[in-house]
Amino acid sequence: MELIGDLPARPLDPAACFNQHGDPSDDGVSARSFRGPVAVVLPAGGCGERMGLSTPKQFCKLLDRPLISYTIHAFERIKWIEAVIVVVAEQHVELMKSIIQKYNHEKTQWCVGGLTRHRSIFNGLSVFVDDKFMECHLTKPKVVIIHDAVRPFVNEDILLKIATAANDHGAAGAIRPLVSTVIATNSEHFLDHSLERSKYRASEMPQAFLFDTIYKAYQKCTEYDFEYGTECLHLVLSYCNTQAKLIEGPPTLWKVTYKQDLFAAESLIKETLSQNVCVITDVDQEALQLGHCLKKMLMTQHMDVEVISAEYGKKKLCIPHVSSQESYNIIIIGNTELQEKQEVIDVIANSSMTLLYPMVLILVYISLPESTPFSKKLDEPSAIRRLAKEAKHRNILVYGLLVNYTKDSEELNESLENMCFISKSLMKDRNSALTGQLLVV
């Protein structure tokens, strides 16, 4: 994890269309479709004082990518969301513009925020109706979702429920159970009283509103509201008499607030990326056996594994399939020439799979008893390092594994267990310092 630097890019991923029927949720909100566009406003003008960093937390980098880009992508990948407005402080406009461009956030536009959260949100809403923003050519949405730029793990299910409830009731918001009991202190800092935790909930994001309702509420806001207010749901209740439908949200709605939250967020991202792997083998019997044995072992670790067997001359046919599955881990098993592996890397890089997240590519070499020992092929380790160095610039992390293949079942099983453990660790850690290394298992 590091602060802002050079940024790659990534096209949008497909997602389920909003206009579909879903199953009723536990709280009675049905995922019905509705007519009218949906937009998102992301206030991102905070300075991150509680984190104690010189760079605002929304621009801190996780896996070489700014946190705010993860949040934007969570919305852009959903087809029924038509536009995302990021509201930033004036001094960060150029940085935000570079992020939008380099990560190919095609649905996203920016505007300058105000000195407080409510002023920034009002500016973001005004983009759709104020004459001074007309060059944006944005359609006024029927429903607008307001979310925090530093809550990157929002999923389509909760967004669908919140947006649908807002369409039906005028306003809706996510809530979570309180983790700690709320207490009140007296003037001498002694306990005065406590609240019964089971009767209260924490207000979270996302929140959604009929656009005309929330915009009307902001037009009626007082200076006190703009200066000290924080709760959008309270504004529509006070000024539009609109009661918000409250929906229980998932645990992943937590907000990156403190420095340790950055490490937790990065760990969750790595965990998610490591869950799927495509194992590609050549047609040799040993490679096929290793591939299917590895699949069984990785599946015991609750991983989704697919094995594809093909000659390397046809390997390009595998890549679009892997891309459609959003698998950011590929294991290639077989003693083919490095040139053929280079062609696979080229196909991966050109498929746009690596423009958002770093891709892990593990090259597994098989050492057979009757073959020339791999250790005597002095050019191979240096060639792997050269290959990995070039691939690293394309956001592909290349690692090498050397597996001793033997007919002794006990020794072979030990090698397979080591290969499984090391492969999983490489996919989980995504340690760029180890790229180009040949690990013997």
Contacts of 276 (CB under 8 A, 6+ apart): 303, 304, 305, 325, 326, 327, 328, 329
All domains of the chain in start order, with CATH: 38-269 (3.90.550.10), 275-440 (3.40.50.720)
Beta bridge partners of 366: 403
Q: pLDDT at position 356, please?
A: 81
Q: How far apart are CA 364 and CA 439, in angstroms?
A: 9
Q: pLDDT at position 57, please?
A: 92
Q: How far apart are CA 430 and CA 349, in angstroms?
A: 17
Q: pLDDT at position 58, please?
A: 94
When pLDDT is cut at 50, 70 and 90, the band that residue 70 belongs to is very high
CB 248 within 8 A of CB 40: no
Strand pairing report for 65-66 and 143-146 = unpaired
Q: What 3-state class would DSSP assign to 29?
A: coil
Q: Return the amino acid letter for 6.
A: D
Tokens of 165: 């409830």
Distances in Å between the Cα of 352 and the Cα atoms of 10, 228, 235, 323, 395 are 7, 44, 43, 8, 10
Q: Is the pLDDT of residue 437 over 70?
A: yes
Q: Count of residues for the chain?
A: 441
pTM reported for the whole predicted model = 0.82
Q: What 3-state class would DSSP assign to 401?
A: strand
Q: pLDDT at position 24, please?
A: 38
Contacts of 307 (CB under 8 A, 6+ apart): 278, 279, 280, 281, 291, 292, 295
Model pLDDT for residues 263-279, shown as the tens digit of each residue:
999 999 999 999 999 99
Beta bridge partners of 306: 278
Model pLDDT for residues 173-213, shown as the tens digit of each residue:
999 999 889 999 999 999 999 998 888 999 999 999 999 99
Model pLDDT for residues 109-160, shown as the tens digit of each residue:
999 999 999 999 999 999 999 876 656 678 899 999 999 999 999 999 999 9
Question: How many beta carbons lie within 10 A of that of residue 31, not counting itself?
Answer: 18
Closest CA to 293 of 423, 139, 180: 423
Model pLDDT for residues 51-60, shown as the tens digit of each residue:
666 789 999 9
User: Which runs of E-coded beta strand occur in 211-281?
Assistant: 245-248, 276-281
Query: What is the pLDDT averaged over residues 25-31?
Result: 42
CB 403 within 8 A of CB 365: yes
Cα dihedral: 380, 381, 382, 386 (round 10): 90
Q: Return the amino acid letter for 386.
A: R
Beta bridge partners of 87: 43, 111
Q: Return the amino acid letter for 303.
A: M
Percent of the chain scored above 70 by pLDDT?
Answer: 83
